[in-house]
Amino acid sequence: MTTHPALKTGATAVVTGGASGIGLAAARRFLGLGLRVCLADRDESALEAAVSGLDAAERVFGQPTDVSDRGSVDRLARAVDDRYGPVAVLMNNAGVAGGGDALSNPEGWERVLGVNLMGVVHGVQRFVPAMVESSEPGLVINTGSKQGITQPPGDTAYNVSKSGVKALTEGLAHTLRARAEGRVTAHLLIPGFTYTGMIARFVPEKPAGAWTPEQVVERMFEGLERDEFYILCPDNETTREQDERRILWTAGDLVENRPALSRWHPDFEEDFARFMETGGS
């Protein structure tokens, strides 16, 4: 089994949104590979519990961080440097939902865009330049969402934020190819239906269709082994083939100049169903 060269014993990883869910599951895997890990999270009590639960002695610590605040991310970077030194792995994973549709909830929009999009910008701009300047391998993983690609109606703010993460990570990968020549790489993790704390607040038990965070992280490592940029995750109710067809239909709205979000437009309901059944043939 091959792994990314940044994932080596003694290297340092920073995981935002690391107190629970996908971030915490990733931290466990990084620790299992011998890395040192800093968990960053806004929820201080959950952060303390997560660090205690990892039981990794001096190889893990928690840093209270609000990724929407550039100054807080600066403090995170200084804390990691003081304790462990240079960072080899950056996982920008912190995320929130509940922003609302295009005509509602200005405060929610600010919160969702601040954490989901600007939080990733802050992490990238604070940590990645040093990774590029170093002579060591580096790895950046940004957590996106299928909603940032297929744009289901409802929480438009969330969709916008995750669309931004996709565009940011694509641009970052292109820049790193030129400036780091493959030594530092960027990847977009695209989870499917995953039972995280964001969902658990509303659904007390894991739905049968959802993956666990550990399954997402397992898929993430498979993608890294294959050097995938787009690490697209299925789940227990959606296959890779279904995801591909939905993505192709979404792209077809632009190419064929259909109404926006035609997948949910009553005039295109039968066409979409037929497309999913036939694969577009």
To the nearest 10 degrees (0 to 180), the angle between helices 269-278 and 240-255 is 130
Q: Please, how many CA atoms are within 13 Å of residue 281, restricted to the half-sphere of its CB?
A: 3
SS3 183: coil
Q: Which long-range contacts (CB under 8 A, 24 or more apart) does 198-203 make?
A: 198/21, 198/95, 198/96, 198/97
Written as one string, the DSSP assignment of 120-134 is: HHHHHHHHHHHHHHS
Beta carbons of 26 and 38 less than 8 angstroms apart = no
Characterize the bridge pairing of strands 12-16 and 89-92.
parallel
Catalytic residue among 84, 158, 195, 230: 158
Would residue 158 show up in a list of annotated catalytic residues for this protein? yes
Q: How far apart are CA 249 and CA 112, in angstroms?
A: 27
- Spatial contact of 223 and 229, defined as CB atoms under 8 Å apart: no
Q: How far is CA 261 from CA 94, 175, 192, 251, 254, in A?
A: 27, 31, 19, 10, 10
Q: The sheet that has 230-232: what strands, in order across it? A: 60-64, 36-41, 12-16, 89-92, 138-143, 184-190, 230-232
Structure tokens at 177: 């190819």
The total of other beta-carbon atoms located within 10 Å of residue 77's CB is: 20
DSSP secondary structure of 2-27:
---TT--TT-EEEEETTTSHHHHHHH
Enumerate the active-site residues.
158
